[in-house]
């Protein structure tokens, strides 16, 4: 008897499963085809440097697309390909809206590469020209970053290392004190003051103390060596100058013993 009851229940369970499956299919079909769920509204937030139309064109979807058929991940990945986008988040808001939230890259400096001036961000990303600003002897909007020399297009790893050093030198010396920062492949830093054209070689360490030494010696250098074009402070207890139009050689004009400066 018990066995017969169990056998009798099988068609009931089967029918229930079929009905559930059919109901799920019907709901899914309705949600993905009903005009009520066609995307009619787009919302973009977080833009300061980019144009909204540029972002929506890159997102690559059209009004009227069913909100359930929108591939949020694909949109996010396409939007994050834009040079000025650091992160993006894409959301559905029922019944008919897509929201894109953007975190843009923020310029933290300027770089000169092959004679062109670019903005760069904390990740070492070389940024396209900012449509909200223009270059005319300085970036509009009050930016007064020193120009970084030494980056290469496409060399992301080396560029990131140099950007870290660039930020370090600005922190140690002060952004407003400098007009240029040069970083070579040995990661040695030379700087040009905002107030005079001398190239000051600070080496690879102890930037602040070497800069303070330069400021202390600067009046005497300018007075006694007006043709100097470079000051080398890499060596302990030495100051080495290179003169303008000098064919070769360098002059040690100060050391711990002679103190001739």
Q: pLDDT by residue (tens digit) across 168-177?
A: 999 999 999 9
Q: Which residue did the predictor score with more confidence, 8 or 77?
A: 77
Beta carbons within 8 Å of 17's beta carbon, 6+ residues apart: none
- What is the model's pLDDT at position 24? 46
What phi, psi does 116 have (nearest 5°)? -105, 150
Residue 128 confidence (pLDDT): 75
Question: In the structure encoding, which two tokens stand for residue 32, read together?
Answer: 């993905």
pLDDT of residue 236: 83
Q: Regarding predicted confidence, which is higher, 1 or 50?
A: 50
pLDDT greater at residue 99 or residue 261: 99
pLDDT of 151 > 90? The answer is yes
How many Cβ atoms are within 10 Å of 89's Cβ, its own excluded?
Answer: 14
**Shared fold status for 35-104 and 109-255:** no
CATH number of 35-104: 3.10.20.310
Confidence category of residue 26, pLDDT binned at 50, 70, 90: very low
259 DSSP β-pair partners: none
> What average pLDDT does this structure show over 97-105?
94
Architecture of the domain spanning 109-255: 3-Layer(aba) Sandwich (3.40)
pLDDT > 50? residue 31:
no
Could you tell me which of 105, 126, 39 has the C-alpha nearest to residue 75? 39
CB atoms within 10 A of CB 250: 12
* % of the chain surpassing 90 pLDDT: 51
pLDDT at 256 over 70: no
Length of the chain in terms of residues written: 261
Report pLDDT digits (tens) over 38-75.
Answer: 788 889 999 998 899 999 999 987 777 788 888 999 99
Assigned token pair, 69: 């058929």
Domain ranges in the chain? Answer: 35-104, 109-255
How high does pLDDT run on average in the chain?
A: 81
Report the C-alpha gap between 181 and 189 in whole angstroms.
Answer: 7
Contact 68, 32 (CB under 8 A): yes
In the prediction, which pLDDT does 4 show? 46
Decide if 244 contacts 231 (C-beta within 8 A): no
Percent of the chain with pLDDT over 70: 74
For residues 63 and 147, the model is more confident at 147
Taking the model in full, what pTM does it have? 0.74
pLDDT for the residue numbered 144: 79
- pLDDT tens per residue, range 194-225: 999 999 999 999 999 999 999 999 999 999 98
Number of neighbouring beta carbons within 10 Å of residue 64: 10
């Amino acid at each position: 008897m018990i066995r017969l009851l169990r056998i009798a229940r099988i068609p009931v369970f089967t029918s229930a499963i079929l009905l559930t499956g059919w109901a799920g299919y019907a709901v899914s079909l309705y949600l993905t085809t009903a005009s009520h769920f066609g995307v009619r509204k787009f919302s973009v937030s977080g833009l300061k440097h980019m144009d909204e139309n540029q972002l929506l064109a890159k997102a690559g979807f059209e009004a009227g697309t069913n909100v359930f058929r929108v591939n949020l991940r694909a949109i996010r990945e396409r939007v994050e390909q834009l040079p000025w986008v650091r992160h993006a988040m894409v959301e559905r808001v029922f019944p008919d809206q897509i929201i894109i939230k953007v975190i843009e890259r923020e310029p933290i400096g300027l770089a000169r590469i092959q004679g062109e001036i670019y903005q760069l961000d904390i990740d070492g990303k070389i940024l396209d020209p900012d449509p909200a600003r223009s270059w005319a002897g300085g970036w509009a909007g009050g930016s007064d970053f020193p120009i970084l020399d030494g980056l290469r297009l496409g060399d992301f790893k080396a560029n990131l290392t140099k950007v870290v050093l660039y930020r370090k030198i600005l922190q140690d010396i002060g952004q407003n004190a400098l007009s240029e920062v040069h970083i070579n492949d040995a990661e040695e830093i030379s700087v040009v003051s905002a107030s005079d054209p001398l190239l000051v070689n600070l080496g690879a360490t102890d930037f602040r103390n070497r800069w303070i030494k330069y400021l202390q010696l600067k009046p005497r250098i300018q007075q006694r060596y007006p043709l100097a074009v470079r000051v080398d402070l890499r060596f302990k207890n030495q100051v080495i100058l290179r003169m303008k139009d000098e064919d070769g050689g360098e002059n040690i004009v100060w050391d711990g013993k002679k103190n001739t400066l």
